[in-house]
A and B are shown apart, each in its own frame.
Chain A
Amino acid sequence: MDFIEKIGRLDRRIIFLTVALAVILPLFFPLGLPIEVTPPVQQLYDVIEGLSEGSVVMMSIDYDPSGAPELQPATLSILRHCFRRDLKVLMLGLWAPGVPLGVQALDEVGVGEFNREYGVDFVNFGYKPGGAVTLVNLGRDIHDVCRQDIYGTSVEELPMMDDVKAANDIGLVLSMSMGVPGSDQWIWYYHARYQGNLATAQTAIGAPRYYQYLQTGQLVGLVGGMKGSAEYERLVDHMGLATTGMDSQSVAHLLIIGFVILGNIVYWAEKRRKA
C-alpha cells in the first residue's frame, strides 16, 4: 500500500481527533486575530443607535440549546446595546426550549449589568405556540397574545405594556432564529402586514438564505452565526464567548480546507493511476 492509498483509507477516528484538537488548541494558545465587522451587522447596530430613548425592542428567542453557542452571545450583546441606549425590551419566543436562555440573558445583562427593573424596562412573555398564525395576531393585538408574562402576571399589571399594544408601538423586532418557526415567519406573516424594522440573528446554517431579504429592505440587519455574534461583541466592546471562539473557528476552517485539498489530491492521483 503506497502513501496515496494509505491517506485515502485514513481512519475516520483520526479525522475526528484532529478536528477536536483544532478547536481545543487555540483555547490554550489564542491567536487573538482581529475581527472585522461586516455591513449587515453594522447595519443592525446603526438601526439600534438610531432608535429614540424609550423605544421598545421586541426580541423573539426562536432557538434552542443547539443554537445557543452561536446565538446566545448575539442575544447578550444586543441586549447590552439596547439597555445601554435606554431602550425597553419585550421578550417572547416561538421555541419553548429557548425561553430559559432568554431569561438567563435578561438576568445577566438587564438586572446584573444595567440594574434595570422588570415590568418597567423589560418584560418576558415566554413561549408562544402557533408560529406564523400567532405572529399575525401579535402585530394586531399584543395584549391578546401575551395575556400573562412567564411569572403569571397579567399584561395589564405591567407598566411597560401600557403603551405597547400593537405592531406600531414597536421600534424594532429581532428574531433570534435557527429554523421554523422563526425569521421566515416574521418576514412573511408579520413584517408583510405590519411593516416596521425587522432584523434577524441566524445560526450560520440559516444565514445565507437571508441576504435576499436584506437587499429588499425586508430585513434591516443580519447577524450570521458565531462570527456575526463576535462582530456584535466587538461593536458593543464587550468580548465574550463568540470572540473566544473565533480562533478555534479559524484553525478548524483551515484544517477542513486542508482535508478538502487532500481528498482531491487522493482522488486525482487514483484517477490518473486507473487511466
Chain B
Amino acid sequence: MRLQIPLAIILIMGLFTIVTSFVPAKPIADLNQTFRNWYIGIITFFIFLGTFNLVRVNGERIKTKARDWQYSIILIAALGVMLFAGFFKGRASLDEGSPFMYLYFNVQFPLEATMYSLLAFFVTSASFRAFRARNTQALVLLLAAVLIMLGRVPVGTSIWKGFPDVTEWIMSYPNAAAKRGIRLGIDLGLISMALRMILGIERSYMQ
C-alpha cells in the first residue's frame, strides 16, 4: 500500500496530463488547471519545509557545538530578523520603504551580487592558467572565445569593423547548431527518464 498507491498516483497523473494535454474541452481543461494549481500549492510547502530544515540543521549544530557553530547563530538571527520584517505589518511589510526592503536592498542585494562577482577574478585567473591550446580542438575553442570576446565589445569594432558581423554569424549558425544538437540529446534523455518514472520503472526517488 505504501508503494502501490504512490506508484498509481504518478502513473495516473502522468498519463492523464499527457493524454489530456491537447483536449480543449472545458471540463477536462478545467480539471487540469485545478491539478496544476494543486501542484503549485504543494510546491509552496517544499520551500517552507526548506526554511524549516535550515533552522533544524543549524539549531542542531548550535546544540552540539559542531565546528563553526557560532556562524549558525548568525544565520538563524538573520532569518529571524527577515521573517519578523516580512510579517510584522501584514502584507504591508513588503511595501516600498519598509524595513524588509531596506534589508533586501542594502544587505541581501550587495551580498548576493558581490558573491557572484568574485567569479570575475577566478575566471581571469583560470584563463591564464588553464586555457591552453594543447591540440587542434582546444585551439578552435580558444579562437572562438577570443573572437567572441572581441566581437561583443565596442573596442572590437574599433579594431576591425567586421568583428560584430563575424561574431553574429558564429552565434547564429555553428554555435546554434551545436547547442541545438546538445538540446535534442537532452530532450530525448528527459523524455525517456520521465516515461520510466511515470511507468514506475524508475523509483529510486522514493527512498
**Do A's and B's CB atoms come within 8 Å in the complex?**
yes
A residues sitting closer than 8 Å to B (CB atoms) are 10, 12, 15-16, 19-20, 23, 31, 33-36, 38-39, 64-66, 68-69, 97, 100, 103, 107, 129-130, 133-134, 136-137, 140-141, 144, 150-152, 208-209, 211-212, 214-215, 225, 227, 246-247, 249-257, 259-260, 262-264, 267
Q: Which residues of A contact B84 (CB under 8 A)?
A: none
Among A36, A144, A257, point to the contact of B149 (Cβ < 8 A): A257
Interface of chain A, helix or strand or loop or mixed?
helix
Among A10, A31, A103, A212, point to the contact of B155 (Cβ < 8 A): A31
Among B29, B36, B172, point to the contact of A133 (Cβ < 8 A): B36
Q: Is B63 an interface residue (CB 8 A)?
A: no
Among B105, B131, B153, point to the contact of A260 (Cβ < 8 A): B131
Q: Is B179 an interface residue (CB 8 A)?
A: yes
Q: Which residues of B contact A249 (CB under 8 A)?
A: 153
Name the residue of chain B whose CB is nearest to the CB of A126: B94
Q: Is B109 an interface residue (CB 8 A)?
A: yes
Name the residue of chain B whose CB is nearest to the CB of A19: B124
Among A64, A100, A260, point to the contact of B128 (Cβ < 8 A): A260
- Please measure, in the bound complex, the distance between the C-alpha atom of A237 and the C-alpha atom of B6, giving whole angstroms: 58
Contact in complex: A130, B101 (CB < 8 Å): no
- Please measure, in the bound complex, the distance between the C-alpha atom of A89 and the C-alpha atom of B37, giving whole angstroms: 25
Q: Is B204 an interface residue (CB 8 A)?
A: no
Q: Is B201 an interface residue (CB 8 A)?
A: no
- Please measure, in the bound complex, the distance between the C-alpha atom of A35 and the C-alpha atom of B152, giving whole angstroms: 10
8 contacts between A and B (CB under 8 A): A15-B124, A33-B158, A34-B154, A137-B36, A211-B179, A212-B183, A247-B154, A253-B150
Other 14 A-B pairs with CB < 8 A, given A141-B33, A250-B156: A12-B125, A16-B125, A19-B124, A38-B164, A130-B43, A133-B39, A136-B36, A144-B37, A212-B177, A214-B172, A225-B152, A227-B152, A256-B123, A256-B124
Q: Which residues of B contact A31 (CB under 8 A)?
A: 154-155
- Please measure, in the bound complex, the distance between the C-alpha atom of A100 and the C-alpha atom of B44, giving whole angstroms: 20
Contact in complex: A140, B128 (CB < 8 Å): no
B residues sitting closer than 8 Å to A (CB atoms) are 29, 33, 36-37, 39-40, 43-44, 47, 91, 94-96, 101, 104-105, 108-110, 112-113, 115-117, 120-121, 123-125, 127-134, 142, 145-146, 149-150, 152-158, 164, 168, 171-172, 175-177, 179-180, 183
**A235 CB, nearest partner CB in chain B, Å:** 15
Task: Give the residue among A64, A133, A249 with the most B Cβ atoms within 10 A.
Answer: A133
Among A39, A103, A129, A144, point to the contact of B168 (Cβ < 8 A): A39
Contact in complex: B125, A35 (CB < 8 Å): no
Q: Which residues of A contact B110 (CB under 8 A)?
A: 65
Among B125, B132, B168, B183, point to the contact of A38 (Cβ < 8 A): B168
Contact in complex: A35, B179 (CB < 8 Å): no
- Please measure, in the bound complex, the distance between the C-alpha atom of A152 and the C-alpha atom of B146, giving whole angstroms: 50
Q: Which residues of A contact B91 (CB under 8 A)?
A: 151-152
Ordered nearest first, which 8 A-B pairs have the shortest CB separation? A33-B154, A130-B40, A250-B155, A66-B116, A259-B128, A212-B176, A211-B176, A250-B153
Q: Which residues of A contact B120 (CB under 8 A)?
A: 19, 23, 252
